[in-house]
Amino acid sequence: MKAVLALADGRIFKGKSFGATGETTGEVVFNTAMSGYQEVLTDPSYKGQMVTMTYTQIGNTGINPEDIESNQLYLSGFIVREYLDCYSNWRATMSLDAYLKENGVVGIQGIDTRALTRHLRDKGAQNGIISTVDFDPESLVRKARAIPSMAGLDLATGVTCAQPYHWTEGLWDLADGYPQVDKKDLKYKVVAYDFGIKLNILRCLVSAGCDVTVVPATFPAESALEMNPDGIFLSNGPGDPEPMTEVIENIKKFVGKKPIFGICLGHQLLGLALGGRTIKLKFGNHGSNLPVMDMATRKVEITAQNHGFSVDILSLSHACRLGHENLNDQTVEGMAHKELPIFSVQHHPEASPGPHDSHYLFGRFVELMEKHK
């Protein structure tokens, strides 16, 4: 079946449909990871976006129940050069095509993803539409231009959990799968704010010795403090942090009272709570092969990233120092408070998919909690 991708600036890409049929809209971005498409599909941070995979062949390892990062798909559409229906993996239980259909995600294959990626890199991420029912370029471009910009959208409160819950599952073990960790082995009480939290972040916290209670995005700080946690964790998530004013005010109430660790959107929200500002990037950073420097050690880490906004560190020079820097575009990848036990990173130390170079950051959070217990 035919499918068409139209961008808001008028660029048209013609291909073939896979996954669900119909019409879908969102901000078109590109991801440079060579593997891990299932984790990409299930990352809540992609809500409202259509993801282009730059690697040429996608689908060859199928889909399995262990590699999900959330219990549903949040992205709007999936764009690949070549979809492979013949999958081969000992854990696979279904094809990518069937998975997208089951979850109602529209996909397009057979387009020149290199040309699309270069276009997005040069012109910037922009809204688009994939359709298997309307092939009129003018009509499609008109629809793409009618989509609200990602800037100004609070999407995190639409993907957060409804009620607090306890998490005890640790990191994957080849012999036993995901273990349930005994509560007596979890020394540090952590309240984790869910703005679209990935499951592997929770597993990393538990494996580091944290007794984790996950709470909704707008859970009152007063209620969280009543739990007497050793630390506060702020998760990843989708959308623009700036309109999340209720959440930002909430985070301010933890400053100076508890150690705080933020990742991705949590990092941005923390920056705003400390008095800084955020900016929207031209095309963002999405992938699992992006170099970052730890400014304290001068060591380079290869990291997983998924963000379209960044903290302006100059707006926080009164309170924070630069912790990590992106070596591709020199954007802020981490910060640490000059006096308080507070730090955050823009990249994903849990990876999934991606390298584990930054996994030590969970240990750093534990060290802060131990020091301020």
237 in a known ligand binding site: yes
pLDDT in tens, the chain (373 residues): 999 999 999 999 999 999 999 999 999 999 999 999 999 999 999 999 999 999 999 999 999 999 999 999 999 999 999 999 999 999 999 999 999 999 999 999 999 999 999 999 999 999 999 999 999 999 999 999 999 999 999 999 999 999 999 999 999 988 789 999 998 899 999 999 999 999 999 999 999 999 999 999 999 999 999 999 999 999 999 999 999 999 999 999 999 999 999 999 999 999 999 999 999 999 999 999 999 999 999 999 999 999 999 999 999 999 999 999 999 999 999 999 999 999 999 999 999 999 999 999 999 999 999 999 8
Burial class (CB in 10 A: 0-12, 13-18, 19+), 173: exposed
Is 264 in the active site? Answer: yes
Token pair in block for residue 54: 């730059």
71 marked as part of a ligand binding site: no
The reply, when asked if residue 110 is annotated as ligand binding, is: no
Is 318 catalytic? The answer is no
Domain range enclosing 28 = 2-145
Rg (CA), the chain: 20
pLDDT digits (tens, 9 = 90+) for 330-366: 999 999 999 999 999 999 999 999 999 999 999 999 9
Where are any strands of DSSP class E within the chain?
Answer: 2-7, 12-19, 23-31, 49-53, 57-58, 77-79, 82-83, 106-109, 126-131, 165-167, 188-193, 210-215, 231-234, 260-263, 277-294, 299-312, 320-326, 332-337, 342-345
**Domain harbouring 301, CATH code:** 3.40.50.880
Residue 350: active-site member: yes
Q: Is residue 34 part of a domain?
A: yes
Catalytic residue, candidates 27, 69, 119, 264: 264
> Do strands 77-79 and 49-53 pair parallel, antiparallel, or not at all (unpaired)?
parallel
Confidence (pTM): 0.97
Which domain-ending residue is among 116, 145, 174? 145
75 is in an annotated binding site: no
CB of 217 closer than 8 Å to CB of 183: no
Last residue of a domain, one of 95, 122, 145: 145
Residues 110 and 44 in one domain: yes
Q: Is 306 annotated as a binding residue?
A: yes
